[in-house]
Amino acid sequence: MNPLNLPSRTAGQHGPLPDFLPAEADVADVVSVIAPTGDRIWLVTAYDLGRAVLTDERFSRAAAVTPEAPAVHPMRPDPAALTSLDPPQHTRLRRLVNRPFTPRAVAGLEEGIRRQARRLLAGRDRIDLVAEYAMPLSATTICRVLGVPEAEHDRFAGLADRALGITTGTFEEQGPARDALRAYIRELIDRARRDPGEHVLGTLATAYDEGGALSHDELTALVELLLNAGYETSIGQLGLAVVSLLEHPDQWHRLATAPHRETAAAVEELLRHAPVVPMSFTRVARQDVRLGPVVVRAGEALVVSLLHANFDARAHRDPARLDITRCPARHLTFGHGAHTCLGAQLARTQLRVALEELATAASGLTPHIPLPSLPWRQPEAVVRGPLTLPVNLTGSGRSWGRRCSSQP
């Protein structure tokens, strides 16, 4: 593999990464690493191989959540969660929740996200883009999709912040907060069962009560996954994208002066360059599988480093360079295959609209504290991102356009 030059390691400004993710330049396509649990895990670092593995049914998610399976994180995933299932159980459950995440359904949310973004930025010349922008945008969006009442968005955001450690906290402090968030989610489900309404919560509650299409454990795990995954990823991703742009002021200038129709391409490059989830969930081989020179034995675990795949020089020209005109900017930031991110379209829309409105509000964006002193989420967290991101907003927004560069 060609030399890697991960900006997160070299500049130290994309925050800490888990120790077992190799930082060295000449990392092989498949390497053996020791996870924080002490378990040995295969790590796939190549783009094409990573994509292939994520669609390969010889690797199982269900086998990766059993108590005896090698694991990356000490906290075992819920075996009833959508992310923990293989087909056909996975297909059945995913079909139940697909509809509000289709491009068409997400397009219907865009205007609301834009109006809120404008309101949050109005009259500001300094703003913490985590606490005062990404968090309220993300909370409102996912709560609207699920059908959490408007008056309770702040309650959800506060509980989720403490439970997931988005702006503060250690894993120990998160324990009781997680219990409180779970209790709130159970309360939401109970209410949806009594009065379903038309949103995801109601649809799922009805599917449980009337059709027996999912078990109570699956229902609870699904709502928890949608609320949590839908909330913290979008917050971290906006923070990371803005940090990348602050590190590359020329790219911010391009974005700030680009017509709206071109920001979709810029978003893909930002997703490639600073993926908020640096690696896939663990999969376990059902049988011996040869991956290049390596044989992954049945029962062994494997993870795809989405971050390394996004910087594989065979798939991306000059991968360390942030080039928002790169198109297409291919990446594995949303995973691939059956478990590919359900909220990808929603996440893309939120990121694009948040950046467009930021660029419309201010042509000048500078960090209010030096980037190297930004505090970051703990490296063991599945989702990364800055805990705070205070920036200064100056000047007025967009005026002229630009073109896409070509890409291998």
Distance CA 161, CA 134 (A): 12
Is residue 220 within the footprint of ligand HEM (CB under 6 A)?
no
Cis status, amide bond into 136, omega within 30 of 0:
no
Judged by CB, which is closer to ligand HEM: 120, or 134?
A: 134
Q: How many residues bind ligand HEM (CB under 6 A)?
A: 25
Distance of CA 216 to the CA centre of its chain: 26
From 182-190, 250-258, 328-336, 364-372, give the range in contact with ligand HEM by CB under 6 A. Answer: 328-336
Distance CA 348, CA 395 (A): 26
CB of residue 398 vs ligand HEM: minimum separation in angstroms?
23
CB of residue 388 vs ligand HEM: minimum separation in angstroms?
19
Judged by CB, which is closer to ligand HEM: 177, or 225?
A: 225
Residue 232: closest CA among 166, 136, 156: 166
CB neighbours of 70 closer than 8 A, spacing ≥ 6?
35, 37, 39, 40, 41, 282, 284, 300, 301
From 45-53, 288-296, 331-339, 361-369, give the range in contact with ligand HEM by CB under 6 A. Answer: 331-339
Is residue 60 within the footprint of ligand HEM (CB under 6 A)?
no
CB neighbours of 250 closer than 8 A, spacing ≥ 6?
none
| Stretch 171-210: interaction string toward ligand HEM, x if CB under 6 A | ----------------------------------------
Residues numbered 347 to 366 that lie near ligand HEM (CB under 6 A) are 347
Judged by CB, which is closer to ligand HEM: 246, or 277?
A: 277
- Please, what is the Cα angle at 161 between 387 and 167, to 5 degrees? 15
The torsion angles phi and psi of 378, rounded to 5 degrees, stand at -65, 145
Is residue 156 within the footprint of ligand HEM (CB under 6 A)?
no
- Chain residue at closest Cβ approach to ligand HEM: 343
Is residue 333 within the footprint of ligand HEM (CB under 6 A)?
yes
Is residue 258 within the footprint of ligand HEM (CB under 6 A)?
no
Asked if residue 261 lies in contact with residue 404, where contact means CB atoms within 8 angstroms, the answer is: no
Judged by CB, which is closer to ligand HEM: 174, or 280?
A: 280
Among 342, 355, 361, 387, binds ligand HEM (CB under 6 A): 342
Distance CA 313, CA 315 (A): 5
Is residue 96 within the footprint of ligand HEM (CB under 6 A)?
no
Among 15, 230, 278, 385, binds ligand HEM (CB under 6 A): 230
Is residue 319 within the footprint of ligand HEM (CB under 6 A)?
no
Is residue 226 within the footprint of ligand HEM (CB under 6 A)?
yes
Among 343, 367, 385, 386, binds ligand HEM (CB under 6 A): 343
Is residue 334 within the footprint of ligand HEM (CB under 6 A)?
yes
Partnered with residue 291 across adjacent β-strands are 294
CB of residue 76 vs ligand HEM: minimum separation in angstroms?
15
Among 28, 62, 105, 341, binds ligand HEM (CB under 6 A): 341
Site residues for ligand HEM per CB under 6 A: 82-83, 94, 225-226, 229-230, 233-234, 237, 275-277, 280-281, 306, 333-335, 339, 341-343, 346-347
